[in-house]
Amino acid sequence: MATTHPTDIRNGIADYINTQIGSGGYIELTTLGGVTIAIINLNTPAFNIPVLGTMSIYNPPLTGIAIASGKASLAYIKDSGGSIIFQGVVSAIAEGTGDLQLEVEYLNYDDTVNVTQLDYVSCL
Range of the domain at 92: 7-121
- Are 54 and 122 in contact by the 8 Å Cβ rule? The answer is yes
What pLDDT sits at residue 90? Answer: 94
Alpha carbon of 86 to those of 12, 14, 101: distances in Å? 16, 11, 16
What pLDDT sits at residue 98? Answer: 86
69's CB contacts (< 8 A; 6+ apart) are: 37, 107, 108, 109
Q: State yes or no: pLDDT of 1 exceeds 70.
A: no
**Total of domains in the chain:** 1
28: which strand partners?
Answer: 39, 76
Percent of the chain with pLDDT over 90: 81
Q: Residue 21 domain-assigned?
A: yes
More confident residue, 3 or 74: 74
What pLDDT sits at residue 16? Answer: 96
> What values do phi and psi take at 8, rounded to 5?
-65, -35
Mean pLDDT for the stretch of residues 55-77: 95
Cis, peptide link before residue 50, omega less than 30° from 0: no
Q: Residue 14 domain-assigned?
A: yes
Q: Residue 1 domain-assigned?
A: no
81's CB contacts (< 8 A; 6+ apart) are: none
Q: Residue 39 domain-assigned?
A: yes
Mean pLDDT for all residues in the chain: 93
Q: State yes or no: pLDDT of 92 exceeds 90.
A: no
